[in-house]
Structure 1
Amino acid sequence: MQGGVMEPAGSPLTTHVLDTASGLPARGLCLRLSRLEDHGQHWTELRKSYTDPDGRCPGLLMPGQMRAGTYKLSFDTEGYWKKQGQESFYPYVEVVFTITNETQKFHVPLLLSPWSYTTYRGS
């Protein structure tokens, strides 16, 4: 609540991709969010999206849609680098993480270059 006005609830899961080679947000990078189902037997895709001009992907999950479990963000890094006219080493990056408390917010950033990547649990 800010200034007496209710703000709309944001997604409980967010991501941000930074192109560390250019120092700019990675715009237009395709990603998919999946959840592990059937006692760890297969992944169910929940959403396919693209990063916005700020390298963010708003609305990965709607409020109330997140539940405890194992999730995966798959980033099409090869497609992104090809659009940049750049060769790369990793064709895709998959970040697998576990959510135990579905009332918390989770931020999963990706720092990306053609030859490396780093991720961490953000805030």
Structure 2
Amino acid sequence: MGALTTHVLDTTRGGPAAGLRVELWRLGDDVAAAPLADFVTNDDGRAHGPLCEGEAFIAGSYELIFHVGAYFADSGATRVFLDRVPVRFTVDRPDEHYHVPLLVSPFAYSSYRGS
């Protein structure tokens, strides 16, 4: 069974980004985008379970929106360049596990398809 997970690491602290808001949207070509999940990361920088899985996890385009500006402002950062980080990706094999990590600082980010 396929599933989608994510993990956020705060590269300024060298650890998980706990308390960071994340939204998941399914994007459609002919229909409006649909919200699928809205959560705050736990102490390990993760959601408490898969963001989408099973029959709800279908082929198509998705977007994760990481609210990093608010996270860093709440963490005491005096300067923050990034506000929201959108990561758009395509699921072509929904029977597989898709893991989308985000490594982030107030000024830069990186993402990839993890395992």
TM-score, normalization: structure 2? 0.92
1:11-50 correspondence to structure 2 within 5 Å:
12-37=3-28, 39-40=29-30, 42-50=32-40
**Aligned-residue CA RMSD (Å):** 1.4
Q: Which residue is 1:79 aligned to?
A: 70
Q: Any idea what SS the aligned residue of 1:80 has?
A: helix
Q: Which residue is 1:52 aligned to?
A: 42
Q: Which residue is 1:96 aligned to?
A: 88
Equivalents in 2 of 1:62, 1:71: separation in Å? 13
Measured after TM superposition, the shift of residue 85 of structure 1 is 1.1
Based on CA coordinates, which of the two structures has the bigger radius of gyration?
Answer: 1
> Structure 1's 25 and 40: CA in aligned 2 closer, same or farther, altered over 3 A?
farther
Q: Which protein, 1 or 2, shows the higher relative CO under an 8 Å CA cutoff with sep ≥ 6?
A: 2
- Structure 1 runs of 4+ off > 3 angstroms? none
Look up the equivalent residue of 2:103 and give its one-letter code: L
Measured after TM superposition, the shift of residue 24 of structure 1 is 1.0
> May I ask how many residue pairs the two structures share in their alignment?
113
Equivalents in 2 of 1:41, 1:72: separation in Å? 15
Q: Any idea what SS the aligned residue of 1:64 has?
A: helix
Gaps of 5+ in 2: none
Look up the equivalent residue of 2:33 and give its one-letter code: W
Gaps of 5+ in 1: 1-8
Share of identical aligned residues, percent? Answer: 41
TM-score, normalization: structure 1? 0.86
